[in-house]
Structures are given as C-alpha cells and as structure tokens.
Amino acid sequence: MAQFALPNNSKIKKGDSYNVAKGDAKNKKMFKVYRWNPEKKDEDGKVKNPSIDEYTIDLDSCGPMVLDALIHIKNDVDSTLTFRRSCREGICGSCAMNIDGTNTLACLKPIDEVKGDVKITPLPHMPVVKDLVPDQNHAIAQYNSIEPWMKTDSPAPARERLQSAEDADQLNGHDGHGPAACILCFCCSTSCPSYWWNGDRFLGPATLMQAYRWISDTRDEATGERLDQVEDGFKLYRCHTIMNCTNTCPKGLNPAKSIAEIKKLLAVRK
C-alpha cells in the first residue's frame, strides 16, 4: 500500500498559547493562527517548522470581523504576527486568507459566523513569505501576461471612450457582480484544484476572469488577439468547471461563468 506523508520540515507543529481574556470575560474566542518565519532557525541551523499559535481573546476588545481580531492580536498581544491588510472594506483584496476552511477576506468575515475556534491559515498552494502572507509573484505575472489594459488602433477621441449602458453591463453586471468587480484577491485561483496541480501553466480563475473583462469590453479593439492569447490546452482548458472559484469568491462574482464565456467565444470563432 502506498503511503504519503509530508516532509518533516513541512509538518505543522503546536506553537505558543496566549490567553489575554480576563477571567470574567463573557465573550471569549480562540484564534488558531498559522505561523512561519523563515528567519527562525532550530539548533541545527535549519528553518523551524510552521506552527499553529493559539490566542484566546475577549471579543469585546475588538471589532466584529476576523481582521479586527488579527489587528487586536498584533497590536496588543503579539507584534510579530504578520499579515497583509489595507482598505478594511473588501476593496483591495490584501487580507485574503483561509478562514475556517474557506478562502475569503478577513475584513468581510464576521467572527460570529465561525462556530468554535477560528482557524486561520494563508491562501493554500502558494509559497509562504511569512505567517499569513503568501507569495503572489507568480499569480501577478500571469495576470500581467494577459495585458490588462485597453488596446486600440483607432485614434483617441477628444475625451474618454464611451460605451452604452448595455455594454457597460457586460463588464459590471446589472447587479454589480460582473468581471470588472474582481479585486484580484486570488481566493478563487487558490481554491481551484486545477490551479493547484497546473498552476505553472493554467492561468487560473482570477486571471481568466480578468481576461474576459477585456475581451467583453466594447471599447477594446484587440478581441481576436486576446482570444489567441488564452486559446491553449493549459492556459484555458485546464478549467474543468469544478465551481470552487465561484463558491468561494468573497465578492459574490462568478469566475466560472467568465471562463465559460471565453470558451463559447472560441467555439463560435471556429
């Protein structure tokens, strides 16, 4: 029988525990947070294994979202905890992480939606820079490869390039959930098994949705070129419509639909 196990240096160990909730606190919650620091070495000089640190806090000391709890922990409990955050409004995508088993934005995830302890790890299947910070260089390079800017050959108008409300709906969606609303948090791509196994060549849901955003933009004049860019057995067709991307999108978007629309356009063109 085949046996599979993680390399010893990948096994997650039990870390430190902090209980900063006062004994009479009525609103306690434990946060189990992934920790890894490439600068921490063991006695043999090797980088220490990742660990899970436990923080028990009084929820009355912070705001209602998971990001509020992380900021409270960093400010008042353990200043070494590292994570990304910026807007705190679900717009920048910086605080994307895996919370309670689902990729989402910490600033949009209410603590009270999590039953029991809150388990927090980095986005899966990306190299970890430190703690909850994933290395997104590869994903950003894939995004840049689709040339995400308007490409035109016609002379520029005196003012902006206009489009009808119906054409704008192609981008924004009548409900605001169109492909132009993608914030590139990469929650969708890192939840996709096809991206896990073929991330070196498969562009992934986030980048493909951005590709469709430009393909469907009536002001752009490079539709054929853009379709040529993604017409590839790996770049596009490694999508097997598993739908994890749509299920996990914290903005309620539908990357799977955007990918299907690209496939339809390519089928019609043939």
pLDDT tens by residue, the chain, 270 residues: 666 677 777 889 999 999 999 888 899 999 999 999 999 998 888 999 999 999 999 999 999 999 999 999 999 999 999 999 999 999 999 999 999 999 999 999 999 999 999 999 999 999 999 999 999 999 999 999 999 999 999 999 999 999 999 999 999 999 999 999 999 999 999 999 999 999 999 999 999 999 999 999 999 999 999 999 999 999 999 999 999 999 999 999 999 999 999 999 999 987
Side chain identity, residue 166: E
Q: Which domain holds residue 255?
A: 137-269
- What is the predicted pLDDT for the residue at 5? 74
Same domain, 130 and 141: no
Structural domain contains residue 1: no
Q: Give residues with Cβ within 8 angstroms of 223, minimum separation 6.
A: 215
Same domain, 125 and 187: no
Asked which of 95, 117, 134 is the last residue of a domain, the reply is: 134
Same domain, 194 and 217: yes
Same domain, 106 and 179: no
Same domain, 147 and 230: yes
Rounded Cα distance, 161 and 219, in Å = 7
Same domain, 153 and 265: yes
Same domain, 172 and 195: yes
Q: Give residues with Cβ within 8 angstroms of 266, minimum separation 6.
A: 227, 231, 236
Residue among 249, 253, 255, 259 at smallest CA distance from 227: 259
Residue among 212, 268, 211, 260 at smallest CA distance from 237: 260
Rounded Cα distance, 251 and 96, in Å = 12
Same domain, 243 and 172: yes
Rounded Cα distance, 107 and 109, in Å = 6
Asked which of 134, 153, 173 is the last residue of a domain, the reply is: 134
Rounded Cα distance, 13 and 54, in Å = 12
Q: At what angle do helices 204-215 and 223-230 cross, to 10 degrees?
A: 160
The residue with tokens 């640190």 is 53
- Count of domains for the chain: 2
